[in-house]
Structure 1
């Protein structure tokens, strides 16, 4: 089940909200846990068992780490086993096919390789569970003795299948006791509708165009059409994933949880390092705290720092998918961020500000080619077409046809990838403003209801509704 599904919007969510707020406080966590398991089981019931195994396993590891808190050797061994077990679980389902394919190719073997369906959200809930055990080890979080409370943390449906990756210590108190208010609930509803609108009204149309163009042979399209394809994917992946994060954060607020932000308008960045401080913030901070810093971070000299950056970014790419192109995509960013640390950032700072934005967008869009493509051959051919290196036309009839059909979505995507809403709020809510004091409170509900109706119309009339990050 996905948030932009009519069944979720008009059946599952209303029923869960009604049960949650009508029943006494003592049943609220039970309702949320039950709803979360049903939500996850909707598409693939058998993988609920896998999640329950992960919950029980990490519950036991947490108790053991706490038990050995004053016995350093046993404590280290236990947390090491927890990491190995979690990585092993993730690796079996996500990377075993990739490993077998490469072993067969490299050593001319014939190992049987039955494709394993990837359990939705396994990368996210595995990282959450693992961070809980590590934080107990570090004494950054208290051990959870109630397995149902830990299960709720790992399985909580708003952020279960595509993040944001929530640290246990940020929600531990709210699992035990949360504040509910009309103001917080209303804020959650507004945030959810904004995310839903980003997903359905911008990400979906852009996804349809990106899928159409990336299914073509790069040699058969003009440079202009290739740029439209990668721009469409650039907008799709941002509005798809940030829209999901907005919906997750909004749902969390409806139930009394305050999740941290996961996106902060990354496409307005002026360096790649800044871009990654703004994009998928929860994943970046996870790798920083649990991989980069334990490797030594930037504390052991410049060359160790560059080595650590390359390792972390290559692993980040591999986290996204079992493919050499994902690893190359991660390594690509590791190299660029290392170059910025070496001195490129000082050169960038001297450039005209618009050129800094052009630099970031160009680097990011080239990176998205590798991220979106299934092979290196396709990626390199596509990049050649982008820059006209393979003799293709600059523009053709298809370019103008796609611009005519999708031009308004491109305009909306570009506008709302910038913090225009923040600027408008500052303008409208400024002190002594008639608009801020009277018109905005009246117009706001109308706007949000209009967006919800528009989204519903789009969902009724379209069957294209994927979430990119569900496959990670």
Structure 2
């Protein structure tokens, strides 16, 4: 995580200043940004630098091949995606110590679960657009290695990034003020709120838990991860936009979502958009039936669960959300138009949605013992 390292933050601020001072040079966003991305990774970790240099170069060659080839396009496309997914799975298994190798270092996996999604998005673009999708190595490397969003998103779309790359650096005073304020807000969330809330969570969870304490921890943890991840997103979006790129929003008022379908378009929005674009829409290009939509919802949520981590808890989390989304599709309750229903009905549906989310949100902690303890505590009534 760059943004908890003061040296890294100073380096990123320095890059923003360099871009601002060289704004009259049309190529400053492209050439200076590539130099910064590579130097930043090299200083942070030479192993990380070498791995991503090789990984990005190989995928760029694959991208160009897919743009040009006319034979075995679909097979090549599927094999390239499978190879990238296999690479991520292998590194996860090494991280879980199911396999060991002296060359493995946990830092190599840093950001890969996000960056592989960008690689696959570029492959989709090459597959469907063909020769016109070709882009220079300089811009492809900047897309994959873009430092502000490198470790935890938001997930950038290849097409949008390339459009921004062609635009000159045009960050004005008003945009600078807005994004600096956003970065400060994100830092406050990450450094002040999350630190304090984590201490409270650890203190309460260390005790013997009863029903009211488990309920408190589930709600508290939900708020904690919101401030944690939205704080990171605020910082990433702020710095990315100060560098001249239109970074997409990750959180779009998720607590005002009256259905789970709408919730997953507003919470970690770029992740939900990615799975919807690359799996849901690809598998069912025509308007899906309710049963097809329900089945695909289950598949997508299980895959999102596995994307978060290789454990049965995440699989069950995915099945839980997938079944709820499937029911919404089957019953026709995927959306609620705020203007066509009463305020009481709308906010009642929002509260119900948050109740469903809160029931499983503790799985995000990644600590199976803590999760089991909190769920056991729900049945421990204080008599």
- 2:77 corresponds in structure 1 to 79
Which residue of 355, 359, 369 corresponds with 1:362?
355
The answer to whether the Cα contact below 8 Å between 2:95 and 2:106 also exists between their aligned partners in 1 is no
Pairing 1:373-388 to 2, within 5 Å after superposition = 373-375=366-368, 379-386=371-378
Task: Report deviation, 1:178.
Answer: 2.6
- 1:160 corresponds in structure 2 to 150
- 1:45 corresponds in structure 2 to 46
Shifted more, 25-34 versus 313-322: the winner is 25-34
Larger Rg: 1
Pairing 1:242-261 to 2, within 5 Å after superposition = 242-261=230-249
Pairing 1:288-299 to 2, within 5 Å after superposition = 288-296=276-284, 299=287
Pairing 1:130–2:128 present: no
SS of 1:46 mapped into structure 2: helix
CA 1:274/1:27 → structure 2, altered by over 3 Å: closer, same or farther?
closer
The answer to whether the Cα contact below 8 Å between 1:210 and 1:230 also exists between their aligned partners in 2 is no
Shifted more, 290-299 versus 255-264: the winner is 290-299
Pairing 1:117–2:106 present: yes
The answer to whether the Cα contact below 8 Å between 2:291 and 2:330 also exists between their aligned partners in 1 is no
- 1:281 corresponds in structure 2 to 269
Give deviations 1:383-442, integer Å, cap 9, x for gaps.
Answer: 2423xx22346xxxxxxxxxxxxxxxxxxxxxxxxxxxxxxxxxxxxxxxxxxxxxxxxx
Task: Report deviation, 1:139.
Answer: 1.1
- 2:91 corresponds in structure 1 to 93
CA 1:84/1:303 → structure 2, altered by over 3 Å: closer, same or farther?
same
Shifted more, 308-317 versus 265-274: the winner is 265-274
Provide the C-alpha distance between the structure 2 equivalents of 1:272 and 1:298, rounded to a whole number of angstroms: 22
Pairing 1:14–2:13 present: yes
Task: Report deviation, 1:204.
Answer: 2.6
Pairing 1:210-225 to 2, within 5 Å after superposition = 210-214=201-205, 216=206, 220-225=208-213
Provide the C-alpha distance between the structure 2 equivalents of 1:171 and 1:346, rounded to a whole number of angstroms: 31
- 1:440 corresponds in structure 2 to none
Report the number of matched residues. 373
Provide TM-score, normalisation by structure 2.
0.87
Provide the C-alpha distance between the structure 1 equivalents of 2:381 and 2:47, rounded to a whole number of angstroms: 51
- 2:325 corresponds in structure 1 to 337
SS of 1:364 mapped into structure 2: helix
CA RMSD, 1 decimal: 2.9
Which residue of 286, 294, 298 corresponds with 1:306?
294
Query: Any stretches of 5+ residues in structure 1 without a counterpart?
Result: 102-110, 394-472
The answer to whether the Cα contact below 8 Å between 1:140 and 1:169 also exists between their aligned partners in 2 is no
Task: Report deviation, 1:326.
Answer: 1.2
Query: Any stretches of 5+ residues in structure 2 without a counterpart?
Result: none
SS of 2:381 mapped into structure 1: coil
Task: Report deviation, 1:316.
Answer: 0.6
- 2:168 corresponds in structure 1 to 178
Give deviations 1:197-231, integer Å, cap 9, x for gaps.
Answer: 222232232223223444x36xx123332233222
CA 1:97/1:32 → structure 2, altered by over 3 Å: closer, same or farther?
closer
- 2:189 corresponds in structure 1 to 198
SS of 1:124 mapped into structure 2: helix
Provide the C-alpha distance between the structure 2 equivalents of 1:223 and 1:124, rounded to a whole number of angstroms: 37
Task: Report deviation, 1:333.
Answer: 0.5
The answer to whether the Cα contact below 8 Å between 1:270 and 1:356 also exists between their aligned partners in 2 is yes
CA 1:153/1:113 → structure 2, altered by over 3 Å: closer, same or farther?
closer
Provide the C-alpha distance between the structure 2 equivalents of 1:19 and 1:171, rounded to a whole number of angstroms: 20
- 1:426 corresponds in structure 2 to none
Provide the C-alpha distance between the structure 2 equivalents of 1:137 and 1:6, rounded to a whole number of angstroms: 41
Shifted more, 356-365 versus 342-351: the winner is 342-351
